[in-house]
Amino acid sequence: MKKNASHGNRLCDALGIIVPVEWDLNGNPSAWAISTYDENLYQIDNATEKGRELGSFLGRKILLSGVLDDSGDKYCKIMVETYVLLEDRQPIR
């Protein structure tokens, strides 16, 4: 993850796979995160449209940019500003 600011919320880029982190009573994912290749987990803020969109891409490789908020209890949370789905056969840099 590349960090671009030094105080409070930070701009960042993350490369990894979208994974579920919470489920509803019916077993459906209700929250998701990006699991990065340096073994970090950042919960996606699904209060935004782009964050909700990423729930459709569980298990997919992605490169995203957004604002990282590390004030959460369980996981750092990222508010996604942009993302690019990567081809499954595309090598990870």
CATH of the domain at 76: 2.40.50.500
For the cut 80, the answer to whether the pLDDT of residue 93 exceeds it is: no
Q: Identify whether 21 is part of a domain.
A: yes
Residue linked to tokens 């019916």: 26
72 Cβ contact list (under 8 Å, min separation 6): 43
Distance in angstroms (rounded) separating the CA atoms of residues 58 and 74: 20
Distance of CA 74 to the CA centre of its chain: 14
Does some domain include residue 69?
A: yes
Q: Quote the domain boundaries for residue 60.
A: 2-85
pLDDT of residue 2: 45
Total number of domains in the chain: 1
10 lies in a domain? Answer: yes
Among the listed residues 44, 43, 39, 34, the one whose alpha carbon sits nearest the alpha carbon of residue 14 = 34
pLDDT at 72: 65
Residue 93 included in any domain? no
Question: Is the overall model pTM greater than 0.85, yes or no?
Answer: no
Q: Is residue 92 part of a domain?
A: no
Distance in angstroms (rounded) separating the CA atoms of residues 29 and 58: 9
Query: Is residue 22 in a domain?
Result: yes
Assess if residue 91 is contained within a domain: no
